[in-house]
Structure 1
């Protein structure tokens, strides 16, 4: 059993929703089972973690009550609330899109308010009003046949008429598949032959394979299982294709530049660039080296910062819209240039891999920088993923101090990291109390209080006191009751004296800072 799946099962048992979200982004099979035949959904429902159950269903976990795994989840649910969620879950959604990047790519041909298409494709049998507005880079990544046409036959074409008698209905189906829109439930018996022919023509073997198998399946439960299995395969196939596209055509084709004079001129032949870019991303590292990545607004707009930049009435949006009305040659010679905040190139590439195909592999060495850039881009999900790496890496605290984590948590407004820092300090209070940085942190926390009440509170101090209770497995009421006990031996045995000594350390620090909390 692969480690990612083991980690997913553990996160489902303990109810760690953020870690479940991170692990599902690695492409792990949500509908697999462990050595005890337990699926992640079963573990989450059995252990009563409602938010994790909802997240797994949203990401594509199957709960078909007519199948053993689905029935087991329903009857094993710890609470009625979870049982109701599973019973009300539409089984057709079991083959729905199960990754945020899939939802984003699907939105590009469904309800996308941004006009980012750069090619229109239609059939000779239909009027042009129904033609499909598509993206060269997605077609190129998903189909070798389409990529060859885009590089050669359709190189200068904005409108492409397919010489086929298959019609727009079939074309729309294959296009939805390419854009990861769930369409398997739409197939009827009369569609199989035309779809198989078109899949073969566009070199989409995985769809052809599914169609060949599905047309011989009659039993609804068996067909549901087949659809769920292949929807997972489709998603992972698309992820791998986008991974290859990003590595081969964006990262390896990035351009190092020496002068900031006019960065777009540094691409000598952008019109023939294999990535089919419509925007350039400029990054400057700590050594003041500069690099351009050929990118796509359709993908960068996943980040709220870039989406606002090109949807609100800003100069970048106006310039981009003007270019959309230019000739193809003019467009490529004047591509807009946007920037990330200064960061290492490795950090920029982690961000790009996440935006294009939800890659969540963040080396711990870059986790803080990824967190800061993600915060700048207003990409909360990636912030959470970076935080998970920081809290779970065994090596992280060998390079960074717990105060580095605390300060970046405050800067990026990540409560998970604040709590993590407070817990580490509380569990090692005797050691950290000798570090002058703890005083500084408490003082900074006191200055973060926006509204003072009758009894002042300092968030960091409150959190440390809370985790001291956890450290000694006490409840507040227990402390009050035991504190009245006069038997010293009993107090020692109950560890109440140790607890009181550690609280006294906090009180001493506050006295030295002339603070109350």
Structure 2
């Protein structure tokens, strides 16, 4: 299908999403049109269906791969532009149900902590005016508000239940906001003033700013647009706040262990308020302890399995030293697979704040550790950094990258290596490593037949076509040409030279493919 027909199909898809033509939407999706594309007004099909109130179309789009990622502006627009509560609930439930989906990493996980009563420890309670009690994670409140952090270290330091004079409905909305749960559409006009006062009291300035603007807007469309704009800002501010918290309170409170019997500071005396320690040993044998939170480490499948399945023997418990005259407590300790402290801190920044700033020199170590932690999204990000860094390929051998891709199953790296080999084939032809790589690739086929293809060879041949901008049909035409000058001009002679090198290597290895 040509690009022109695909563009026409996408325009028709957008129109059908606006009109609610379910059957035509279904047909158009089957043509392979990109359901996550946007039209000239920056509207996605999902946004149009949501805005126009077509719930069945919204559900179909979600089932066929439309992304409602509220970490991004487009996802927030869909949620807050929804015409009906039913559609909004569909989008939110789809979002929440994918709390560990690689496309929805940060905001949804933080939101999921609000209702998760499992192993994710909450360590502070608030008793409001009518006696209702709300529980929360002390560390998250401290990260989200400097005022709350100050109170936690002073008048609320040893209090497990904190009384606060505020209506329960107001405090519930406020607390959900801190957990990044989309609540703006639930706020009634009669709640605005008290919410502004409460958010101002704890210097949650962005919420106060939104509420002050929203109460003066009566047009539903304008208000929906304001909600979507601010929800995106809320997420980005929270991400930055969690990153500051990690750098200051977790890394700033980390302890370099000198003595294995060394006691650590009480969780209540640590600004991170941890409920778990993460022990990291580097290549020199030095150990560093990071005060962490199971609620966040739980984002990684490795830690989640450790605490929910029969792997609790991997968890040790250490004493945490309280102030003089107080009892000692025990705190669980997990050990991260051996790595440099810089790599461990990259992992923690990612888990806490979705920070993906990975220097190229640590990309391989992060990739290997992400593989152990079963963090596929982080593996993809690390692989992308490897393939886009000129410095990396200058320091690492391309065959090392290839073998690494096989070891941990990252297709992006495998394709990168094959493409690099194809582009630089004439330089690598005499390198014995290319023969070894082809042999190893052939051995990756179970019960290989004599004439089976070899994946690496197939990939090299494919990228040789790309190298010279040829299609397979072009090669057939060139083979019947006698005009050498023309064949040289179009690059066919160089292409043929590269292909003969591949064939010669295979002949030397006695591989018939």
> Is 1:396 matched up with 2:392?
yes
Measure, in 1, the Cα distance between the counterparts of 2:464 and 2:152. Answer: 63
Q: Choose from 158, 161, 178 the match for 1:159.
A: 161
Measure, in 1, the Cα distance between the counterparts of 2:107 and 2:413. Answer: 28
> Is 1:509 matched up with 2:511?
no
Q: Report the CA distance shift for 1:499/1:355 in structure 2 as closer, same or farther (over 3 A).
A: same
Q: TM-score under structure 2 normalisation?
A: 0.78
Q: Does structure 2 retain, via aligned residues, the 8 Å contact 1:280–1:295? A: yes
Q: Report the CA distance shift for 1:393/1:250 in structure 2 as closer, same or farther (over 3 A).
A: same
Measure, in 1, the Cα distance between the counterparts of 2:202 and 2:340. Answer: 39
Q: Does structure 1 retain, via aligned residues, the 8 Å contact 2:73–2:229? A: no
Q: Choose from 122, 131, 134 the match for 1:132.
A: 134
Residue aligning to 1:348: 344
The aligned length equals 438
Q: Does structure 2 retain, via aligned residues, the 8 Å contact 1:41–1:61? A: no
The equivalences for 1:216-295 within 5 A come to: 216-259=216-259, 261-262=260-261, 265-295=262-292
Q: Report the CA distance shift for 1:40/1:373 in structure 2 as closer, same or farther (over 3 A).
A: farther
Measure, in 1, the Cα distance between the counterparts of 2:485 and 2:440. Answer: 39
Measure, in 2, the Cα distance between the counterparts of 1:238 and 1:308. Answer: 27
Q: Does structure 1 retain, via aligned residues, the 8 Å contact 2:76–2:229? A: no
Q: Report the CA distance shift for 1:93/1:211 in structure 2 as closer, same or farther (over 3 A).
A: farther
Measure, in 2, the Cα distance between the counterparts of 1:345 and 1:208. Answer: 39
Q: For residue 231 of structure 1, report the CA deviation from its aligned partner.
A: 1.3
Q: For residue 510 of structure 1, report the CA deviation from its aligned partner.
A: 1.8
3-state SS in 2 of match to 1:291: strand
Q: Choose from 49, 72, 78 the match for 1:60.
A: 72
Q: Choose from 98, 106, 126 the match for 1:121.
A: 126
Residue aligning to 1:143: 145
- Higher RCO, 1 vs 2 (CA within 8 Å, ≥6 residues apart): 1
> Is 1:444 matched up with 2:440?
yes
Measure, in 2, the Cα distance between the counterparts of 1:335 and 1:435. Answer: 54
Which structure 2 residue ranges, 5 or more long, are not aligned? 1-39, 49-60, 97-102, 321-325
Measure, in 2, the Cα distance between the counterparts of 1:63 and 1:103. Answer: 12
Q: Does structure 2 retain, via aligned residues, the 8 Å contact 1:41–1:53? A: no
Q: For residue 319 of structure 1, report the CA deviation from its aligned partner.
A: 7.0
Q: Report the CA distance shift for 1:400/1:41 in structure 2 as closer, same or farther (over 3 A).
A: farther
Measure, in 1, the Cα distance between the counterparts of 2:277 and 2:194. Answer: 39
Measure, in 2, the Cα distance between the counterparts of 1:513 and 1:144. Answer: 67
Q: TM-score under structure 1 normalisation?
A: 0.77
3-state SS in 2 of match to 1:156: coil
Residue aligning to 1:107: 112
Measure, in 1, the Cα distance between the counterparts of 2:157 and 2:89. Answer: 43
Measure, in 1, the Cα distance between the counterparts of 2:77 and 2:143. Answer: 37
Residue aligning to 1:22: none
Cα-Cα RMSD:
3.1
Q: Choose from 454, 457, 464 the match for 1:458.
A: 454
> Is 1:412 matched up with 2:417?
no
Q: Report the CA distance shift for 1:63/1:39 in structure 2 as closer, same or farther (over 3 A).
A: same
Q: Report the CA distance shift for 1:507/1:100 in structure 2 as closer, same or farther (over 3 A).
A: same
Q: Does structure 2 retain, via aligned residues, the 8 Å contact 1:180–1:235? A: yes
Q: Does structure 1 retain, via aligned residues, the 8 Å contact 2:70–2:232? A: no
Q: For residue 476 of structure 1, report the CA deviation from its aligned partner.
A: 2.0
Q: Report the CA distance shift for 1:238/1:59 in structure 2 as closer, same or farther (over 3 A).
A: closer
Which structure 1 residue ranges, 5 or more long, are not aligned? 1-36, 71-87, 324-328
> Is 1:304 matched up with 2:283?
no
Measure, in 2, the Cα distance between the counterparts of 1:357 and 1:498. Answer: 49
Measure, in 1, the Cα distance between the counterparts of 2:448 and 2:87. Answer: 46
